[in-house]
């Protein structure tokens, strides 16, 4: 059988989950930020001894980091003449309402590379002014001279009629320029969001193209250019080659080729895979309502799962709107590598700056700035003899020395400083959980907190206590859950088209007819990726709003969608008016190719037994020195239980159970922690 492997590249560690003849095997190792593919290939060889005959699903941070760090391609923008400033004007919103000196949003496109072209369509797509082809030819030569890497073509009303964008793109491509068009990336109305999404796509696509090309050539010896190779070419090379898929922000996968063309769809691929994995683990454990809490080395990602994964089309990457279907995730700059420092007023701050993989936390042996991971070590919440399952040594003496210098500046003792760092980080992450729960009408007390990532289990119980959440779940493979989520994910395709008609003027059959060409395209693309009709699931939905509103609610396309809309509007906003007219804004088609899912290992619990610690060490909780029992995850069996304070160390992650909490291990090997006495 061909092996399948999920790979999540994070800021500090790269995670692997291998599904082969021996079942699930996991691995974790330091990332290589200068060349992420180096860590990937090393990890694959460690697990399988080879890099071929694999099906690889990869979550990449290349696109995300390019936007956040402003290290993308040099993009030229071609817009309808007179509308060159749409991206600059935006929605005329101010990030700081009362600050008259607020800095403007730095653009991804240099003003000197923004051009207008003579053409015009009306809102229905009718031609008012034809494209001036001679002008476009002159423009192409000018763009070449300016050294732009790629051109984003964003013309007015192209969602209604793409003809002008296609004409301009053809002329630019004939001159040798790489081009992406807004009607291919996001064929929906709202010029600012459509143009922003297209420009972000152009900004990251060349980098992702090079990265994926390098990775696929490394995975398939003899393959010179993956974009020009066919399945027959691969067979002629004498190697079966990998099937490389990339995780999307919507929780599904796409082929590497599709990711090269529309890299913007991968900007939240790692966090999205974590939510998919969390949903699978939560349902297997019998908890359909959870808040996923993914704390890695550089950031923490939270998402609310209410029996199913929440999705949205209203999102930003950095300062830029990206209006594509994606999992509803809120991210804060708080992770294990987040750096502690004193601000200009002398207050203790944590993050968002991170030590990352290089130099990493102080205890890793190179870094010189104290991080959250260092604070946990100083508080006795890490097993120095069993970090990464004993495969990595951490330096407590060095950490103590660096912490003493910062503690002197604050006037605190080293334990007090470490306690303060953890409390500040916890407060940041608690606010993130309130964003996806309380601020959206959900009571967090009705959910369990599912903590994963290398550091999630270390902070989850204390945060849950503040939010009055009763149960914390730390999965057996918490440290690599995002990589596991990639093996659980299906291959998905999203399509949309703008309607902009009153509900009274368009029948359900009319909407289904509008969806028909999108459905045909979806089925053809899934079949091309090897999914027969019986393994395809097609879902139709639509965006609806009351007439006069600016924002929509997405709901399934059914005969009674109007009734469902009123109910959902009332639930979301506390208001509904069945007598008020509604408007259909967009139709959407979501297509999934159903993949084979790995079975999560399960052992029936035949009785409870008190766990025996491997060691008892001094630690600190809530400002008090206590004795902490240390357990090793591999020694715990289904049915094992104990009381806190406790630390459970594993090969990929660590879980911390504070005083006043108890834990038990379920049949999947998950740690279930609860406030109160053991039962």
Rounded CA-CA distance 492/539 in Å is 11
Domain assignment present for 311:
no
User: For the segment 647-675, what is each residue's pLDDT rounded down to a tens digit?
Assistant: 999 888 899 999 999 999 999 999 999 99
Name the band, by pLDDT with cuts 50, 70 and 90, for residue 517: very high
pLDDT at 223: 46
Closest CA to 480 of 326, 652, 602: 652
- Of 593, 617, 641, the position where a domain reaches its end is 593
Name the band, by pLDDT with cuts 50, 70 and 90, for residue 227: low
pLDDT at 221: 59
Domain assignment present for 556:
yes
- b or e along 443-459 (b: 16 or more beta carbons within 10 Å of the residue's beta carbon)? ebeebbbbbbbbbbbbb
Average pLDDT of every residue of the chain: 89
Question: Quick one: CA torsion of 52, 55, 58, 62, rounded to 10 degrees?
Answer: 50
Same domain? For 568 and 661 the reply is no
What integer is the mean pLDDT of 98-112? 83
Same domain? For 581 and 622 the reply is no
Q: State the pTM of this model.
A: 0.88
Structural domains counted in the chain: 4
User: For the segment 378-424, what is each residue's pLDDT rounded down to a tens digit?
Assistant: 999 999 888 888 888 899 999 999 999 999 999 999 999 999 999 99
Domain assignment present for 442:
no
Domain assignment present for 223:
yes
Domain assignment present for 251:
yes
Domain assignment present for 164:
no
Greatest mean pLDDT range, 13-17, 509-513, 672-676: 509-513
- Of 389, 406, 424, the position where a domain reaches its end is 424
Query: Max alpha carbon distance in the chain (Å)?
Result: 81
User: For the segment 325-339, what is each residue's pLDDT rounded down to a tens digit?
Assistant: 999 998 888 889 999
Range of the domain at 362: 338-424
Domain assignment present for 527:
yes
Rounded CA-CA distance 224/226 in Å is 7
Domain assignment present for 668:
yes
Listed in sequence order, the residues at least 6 apart from 389 whose beta carbon sits closer than 8 Å to its beta carbon are 650, 651, 652
User: For the segment 158-188, what is each residue's pLDDT rounded down to a tens digit?
Assistant: 999 999 999 999 999 999 999 999 999 999 9
Taking each helix axis from N to C terminus, what angle separates 133-146 and 163-174, rounded to the nearest 10 degrees? Answer: 50
Same domain? For 257 and 217 the reply is yes
User: For the segment 413-463, what is each residue's pLDDT rounded down to a tens digit?
Assistant: 999 999 999 999 999 999 999 999 998 889 999 999 999 998 999 999 999
Answer yes or no: is pLDDT of 316 > 50: yes
pLDDT at 583: 96
Same domain? For 558 and 498 the reply is yes
Same domain? For 222 and 259 the reply is yes
Token pair belonging to 336 = 């294990």
- Of 217, 250, 266, the position where a domain reaches its end is 266
H/E element, 142: helix 133-146
Domain containing 36 — which CATH number? 3.30.420.40
Same domain? For 588 and 620 the reply is no
């Amino acid at each position: 059988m061909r092996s399948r492997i999920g790979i999540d590249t994070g800021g500090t560690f790269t995670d692997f989950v291998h599904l082969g003849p021996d079942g699930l095997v996991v691995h974790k190792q330091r990332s290589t930020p200068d060349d992420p593919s180096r860590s990937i290939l090393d990890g694959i060889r460690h697990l399988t001894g080879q890099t071929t005959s694999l099906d690889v699903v990869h979550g990449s941070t290349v696109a995300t980091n390019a936007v956040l760090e402003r290290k993308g391609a040099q993009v030229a923008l071609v817009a309808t003449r007179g509308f060159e400033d749409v991206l600059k004007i935006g929605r005329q919103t101010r990030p700081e309402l009362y600050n008259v000196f607020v800095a403007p949003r730095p653009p991804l496109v240099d003003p000197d590379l923004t051009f207008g072209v003579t053409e015009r369509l009306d809102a229905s797509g009718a031609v008012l002014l034809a494209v001036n082809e001679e002008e476009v030819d002159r423009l192409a030569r000018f763009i070449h001279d300016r050294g732009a890497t790629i051109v984003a073509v964003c013309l007015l009303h192209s969602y209604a009629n793409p003809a002008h964008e296609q004409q301009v793109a053809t002329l630019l491509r004939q001159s040798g320029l790489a081009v992406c068009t807004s009607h291919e990336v996001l064929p929906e109305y709202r010029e600012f969001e459509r143009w922003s999404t297209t420009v972000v796509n152009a900004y990251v696509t060349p980098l992702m193209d090079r990265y994926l090309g390098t990775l696929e050539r490394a995975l398939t010896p003899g393959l010179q250019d993956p974009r020009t190779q066919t399945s027959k070419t691969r067979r002629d090379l004498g190697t079966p080659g990998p099937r490389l898929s990339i995780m999307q922000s919507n929780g599904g996968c796409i082929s590497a080729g599709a990711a090269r063309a529309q890299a913007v769809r991968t900007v939240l691929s790692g966090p999205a895979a974590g939510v998919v994995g969390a949903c699978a683990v939560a349902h297997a454990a019998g908890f359909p309502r959870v808040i996923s809490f993914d704390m890695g080395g550089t950031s923490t990602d939270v998402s609310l799962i209410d029996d199913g994964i929440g999705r949205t089309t209203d999102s930003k990457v950095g300062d830029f709107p990206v209006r594509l279907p994606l999992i509803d995730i809120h991210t804060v700059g708080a992770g294990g590598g987040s750096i502690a420092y004193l601000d200009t007023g002398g207050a203790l701050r944590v993050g968002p700056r991170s030590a990352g993989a290089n130099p990493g936390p102080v205890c890793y042996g190179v870094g010189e700035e104290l991080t959250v991971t260092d604070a946990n070590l100083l508080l006795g919440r890490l097993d120095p003899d069993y970090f990464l399952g004993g495969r990595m040594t951490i330096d407590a003496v060095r950490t103590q020395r660096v912490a003493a210098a910062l503690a002197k500046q604050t006037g605190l003792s080293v334990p007090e400083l470490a306690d303060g760092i953890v409390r500040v980080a916890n407060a940041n992450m608690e606010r993130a959980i309130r964003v996806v729960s309380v601020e959206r009408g959900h009571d967090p007390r009705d959910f369990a907190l599912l903590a994963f990532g290398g550091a999630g289990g270390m902070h989850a119980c204390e945060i849950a206590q503040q939010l009055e959440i009763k149960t914390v779940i730390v999965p057996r493979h918490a440290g690599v859950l995002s990589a596991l989520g990639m093996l659980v994910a299906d291959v998905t395709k999203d399509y949309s088209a703008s309607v902009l008609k009153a509900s009274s003027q368009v029948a359900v059959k009319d909407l289904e007819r509008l969806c028909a060409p999108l459905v045909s395209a979806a089925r053809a693309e899934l079949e091309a990726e090897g999914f027969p009709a019986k393994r395809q699931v097609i879902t139709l939905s639509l965006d609806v709003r009351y007439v006069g509103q600016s924002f929509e609610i997405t709901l399934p396309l059914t005969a009674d969608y109007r009734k469902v809309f009123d109910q959902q509007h009332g639930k979301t906003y506390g208001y509904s008016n069945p007598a008020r007219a509604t408007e259909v804004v967009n139709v959407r088609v979501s297509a999934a190719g159903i993949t084979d899912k790995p079975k999560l290992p399960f052992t029936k619990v035949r009785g409870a037994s008190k766990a025996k610690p491997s060691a008892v060490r001094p630690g600190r909780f809530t400002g008090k020195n206590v004795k902490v029992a240390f357990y090793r995850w591999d020694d715990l069996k289904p049915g094992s239980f104990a009381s806190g304070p406790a630390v459970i160390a594993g090969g990929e992650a660590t879980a911390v159970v504070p005083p006043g909490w108890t834990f038990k291990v379920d049949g999947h090997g998950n740690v279930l922690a609860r406030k109160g006495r053991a039962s």
